[in-house]
Structure 1
Amino acid sequence: MGLTWKQRVFTALLGAAAVSGLTALLLVLVGTINVLLPPDTKFGIVFDAGSSHTSLFVYQWPANKENDTGIVSQALACQAEGPGISSYASDPARVGESLQGCLEEALALIPKAKHYETPMFLGATAGMRLLSRKNRSQAEDVFAAVSRALGQSPVDFRGAELLTGQDEGAFGWITINYVLGLLVKLPLLWARPGAEQAAGRAGAAPPDLSQNVTVEGTGNPGACIEALRKLFNFSSCDGREDCAFAGVYQPPVQGQFYAFSNFYYTFHFLNLTSKPSLSGANATIWEFCLRPWKLVEASAPPGQDRWLRDYCASGLYILTLLVEGYGFSEETWGGIEFRQQAGGADIGWTLGYMLNLTNLIPAEAPAQGWAQSFGVWAAGVVFVVLTLAATLGAVAVQVFWLQD
């Protein structure tokens, strides 16, 4: 005896439900591909404890690194309140307070869940180098106070370190080549690491820091230049063209150069960052040095009081170093860029320092997941709907059948 029409409908609906369900399952299994999820983000904090002030920088990079070096970008720059940490030599307990404001900004930026794994470092430069030579015990007390204060933060404080002038210059060289995208390809931007730090008093005996010295300015830029020349040992080159000073080898001056840190701040104050001629820069600095002090104070922009007295000597020092030390001329002067930032990051030693430190942080394998194209996903949804409709229809027919 043949099937009734109800049985035939019921059987057809069950078959349709089975086919649709199987098709949806195959689409899910066959159309799914293995994909890499966006990498997690890591953070690092570096304090730049300079002679006149301390700055904090937060850097971030993806957890999966390129060539074992994090793709580091700057996420925050903050200048701490007060002077440099060496100024707290007589009252080290206060040094931690001066760093708290910037540290709180960094902690607010970095997700709380990542605080414990975020490394933090403090690098001290010129001011602490001088204090260490003058009074090592006071310098150690300052570093101890810094370590106690920063060690109480929720991040992974790795310690405070005194950087040499050579390290400071080398990390600055890494920074500028990295932000310009030249660190992983040739040719690298030519630069002279430690231009200001390694050069000061090159070839001369260190000063006696145990004595108190009173310096009175005469407003004579010529006499200032003569005093600056005594900081450099120019005679050791014996007329060699491949020598800068103190017998140090130097290739010919050619190509592009970046001058940053105090070079930039001094020339920015003197409105000399827009590539004027060498003769123009020289005339501007001399005119500023000869200007009466009251006029200098009256014409200075707000916030420059702390450094106003240094710009004359600093400008003359920069000219002496670049022209008589490195051999820049009117023809090559235009190859110097006086910059504070490049590639969205402040130029200095801290980013180069962070790049070096990320090599010590293990890379994480990118997370994996499953994904489908929109077309496959849409088709799967259609077949799931058809499966549900056929199943519900079969159930309705069966109920109707039983009631009949």
Structure 2
Amino acid sequence: MALLGASGVAGLTALILLLVEAASVLLPADLKFGIVFDAGSSHTSLFLYQWPADKENGTGVVSQALACQVEGPGISSYASDPAQAGESLQGCLEEALVLIPEAQRRKTPTFLGATAGMRLLRQKNSSQARDIFAAVTQVLGRSPVDFWGAELLAGQDEGAFGWITVNYGLGMLVKYSFTGEWIRPPEETLVGALDMGGASTQITFVPGGPISDKSTQADFRLYGSDYSVYTHSYLCFGRDQMLSRLLIGLVQGQEDCAFDGVYQPPVRGQFYAFSNFYYTFHFLNLTSGQPLSTANATIWEFCQRSWKLVEASYPGQDRWLRDYCASGLYILTLLRDGYGFSEETWPTIQFRKQADGIDIGWTLGYMLNLTGMIPAEAPAQWRAQSHSIWVATVVFLVLTLVTVLGAASVQLFWVQD
């Protein structure tokens, strides 16, 4: 009887510890997902993003889960076969769906933004552009996702979202501190963004004073803070469009592609140059912070080589090799004479493909902005014990088991005796 009494006391103690000492613990928030298609002039890419559902000060803390380049050219190239523009997206979409839990797919916002290639096609033939968008909408609309639409992305948005991507990737918008809190770094650390696609180029930065031309101003709110940047997109001044005009002798540009006369404050702060800025200067080995004079000398030295020497020096790069001289000269001229970078400000430009492992472009900036429109979800609660209470509970349960077995053994002994 004494053993049974002891087992009862131990068991009751364990039960009290289990029920009374339990504490509420916040479980990690569920993940939300988003898909963005970047339909550029030369190719289309899919990016899958994810973020905790509880968000941080109204904005998701987004990470890149997948980058997939769609096979084939940009969707504007399918003017004669619009249905193929939609079907070309299927492969990358299926890759993304594999990474999204089935229960989450219908709640995954999916958006396709078309940039300068489709802008030019719409100017040339609006009905062909409509047919392509209709084909893309049909394919993505029947997919098991929350399709938000396919549309032209304004040049200003392309520049502003690219700026968001760069600064977010570098931890300039929000950063996790050593004290375990999300903090906003000083505004002085923000960097500018220089983007160049196949058909357009953009410049975006925080100027040193008020923006006189409000059409070049973009405003947004991220992580509880307001931002105002200067941004402008130059249609027809992307890499491919520039090379096409050079080949047909239109060096001065066209009336609808004017560069001179566009308002721009003086460049200020650090800049990240990506996309074709990076690819061209990476090939020319000019991404290590060389001064303007070195960049100028390197490009001219490359351009003065004979074609046979160039081919022999870079085997296996036939596709783009013939364009690097013209691209290098164009970028040099654009940055120096167009945007106003001097020998003194040139070192502020960093030519990069990624920012802290994140592919730089407008898509992540778009998704960060989008998370502000998606309701947050509070983390689930669970009752749990501290480590010491859990250990004590286990000890009393073991004691209970031992005393019960002991009592049973004694009783069995007396019965057999």
TM-score range normalised by the length of the shorter chain: 0.7 to 0.9
1:20 aligns with 2:10: yes
Q: Which whole-Å CA distance do the structure 2 matches of 1:79 and 1:289 have between them?
A: 31
> How many residues are paired up?
368
Distance 1:143 1:288, change over 3 A: farther
* Partners of 2:235 and 2:116 in 1: CA distance: 13
Q: Aligned with 1:361: secondary structure?
A: coil
Instruction: Please name the residue that 2:39 is paired with.
Output: 49
Q: Evaluate the alpha carbon distance shift between residue 345 and residue 214 of structure 1 in structure 2; reply closer, same or farther with a 3 A threshold.
A: closer
SS at 1:200's partner residue?
Answer: strand
Matching residue of 1:284: 298
1:121 aligns with 2:130: no
Rounded to whole Å, the distance in 2 between the matches of 1:215 and 1:380 is: 80
2:68 equivalent in structure 1: 78
Percent of pairs identical after alignment?
A: 68
Q: 2:351 aligns with which of 335, 338, 356?
A: 338
Residues in 2 aligned to 1:230 and 1:130: alpha-carbon distance in whole angstroms: 11
1:179: which partner in 2? 169
| 1:191 alignment partner AA | G
1:329-351 CA deviation, whole Å, 9 max, x = no partner? 11221111000001110111010
- Of 358, 373, 376 in structure 2, the residue corresponding to residue 360 of structure 1 is 373
Aligned to 1:250: 265
User: Letter of the aligned partner of 1:266 in structure 2?
Assistant: T
User: C-alpha displacement at 1:296, in angstroms?
Assistant: 4.7
Secondary structure at the aligned position of 2:88 is classed as: helix
Aligned pairs for 1:203-352 within 5 A: 216=247, 224=251, 233-234=259-260, 236=261, 246=262, 248-251=263-266, 253-293=267-307, 296=310, 299-300=313-314, 302=316, 305=319, 307-352=320-365
Structure 1 residue 106 corresponds to structure 2 residue 96: yes
- Cα offset for 1:403? 8.3
Structure 2 gaps, min length 5 = 175-183, 203-231
2:209 aligned partner: none
1:63 and 1:363 in contact (8 A); partners too: yes
TM-superposed CA distance for 1:142, in Å, is 0.5
Deviation at 1:75, TM superposition (A): 1.2
CA distance in 2, matches of 1:192, 1:400: 85
- Secondary structure in structure 2 of the residue aligned to 1:47: strand
CA distance in 1, matches of 2:14, 2:34: 47
User: 2:410 and 2:153 mapped to 1: Cα distance?
Assistant: 84
| Paired residue type of 2:234 | G
State the shift of 1:95 in Å.
1.4
- TM-score normalised over the length of structure 2: 0.79
Kindly provide the CA deviation profile for residues 367-391 of structure 1, in whole angstroms up to 9, marking residues without a partner as x.
1112223332222122123223434
Q: Indicate the residue corresponding to 1:154 in structure 2.
A: 144
Question: For each residue in 1:114-133, what CA deviation from the matched residue of structure 2 results, as whole angstroms up to 9, or x when unmatched?
Answer: 22222211111010010011
- The Cα offsets for residues 125-165 of structure 1, whole Å up to 9 and x where unpaired, read as 01001001110100010111111122232222221121011
SS at match of 2:397: helix
With over 3 angstroms needed to count, the CA separation of the structure-2 counterparts of 1:303 and 1:76, relative to structure 1, is farther
Once the two structures are superposed, residues 196-251 of structure 1 have per-residue CA deviations (whole angstroms, 9 ceiling, x without a partner) of 2435369x9xxxx9xxx986468xxxx95x669996554x5xxxxxxxxx2x2414
Distance 1:287 1:229 in 2: 33
Q: Aligned partners of 1:230 and 1:155: how far apart in 2?
A: 39
Q: Which residue of 2 aligns with 1:378?
A: 391
- Kindly indicate whether the alpha-carbon contact (under 8 Å) linking 1:277 and 1:330 is maintained by their aligned counterparts in 2: yes
Q: Distance in 1 between matches of 2:32 and 2:383?
A: 24
Q: Is the 8 A contact 1:175 1:347 kept in 2?
A: yes
Q: Against the structure 1 CA distance between its residues 269 and 70, is the aligned structure 2 distance closer, same or farther, given a 3 Å change threshold?
A: same
Structure 1 residue aligned with 2:133: 143
Provide the aligned C-alpha RMSD in A. Answer: 3.1
> Would you say the 8 A contact 1:41–1:61 is kept in 2?
yes
Letter in 1 for 2:338: G
CA distance in 2, matches of 1:268, 1:155: 37
The separation in 2 between residues aligned to 1:116 and 1:150, in whole angstroms, is: 12
Equivalent in the alignment of 1:242 = none
**Residues 124 and 163 of structure 1 are in contact (CA less than 8 Å); yes or no, is this contact kept in structure 2?**
yes
Q: Name the structure with the higher strand share.
A: 2
The whole-number CA distance in structure 2 between the counterparts of 1:288 and 1:131 is: 34
Distance 2:414 2:147 in 1: 76
Contact 1:44–1:119, Cα closer than 8 Å, also in 2: yes
Cα 1:302–1:14 shift into 2, 3 Å: same
What code does the residue aligned with 2:135 have? Answer: A
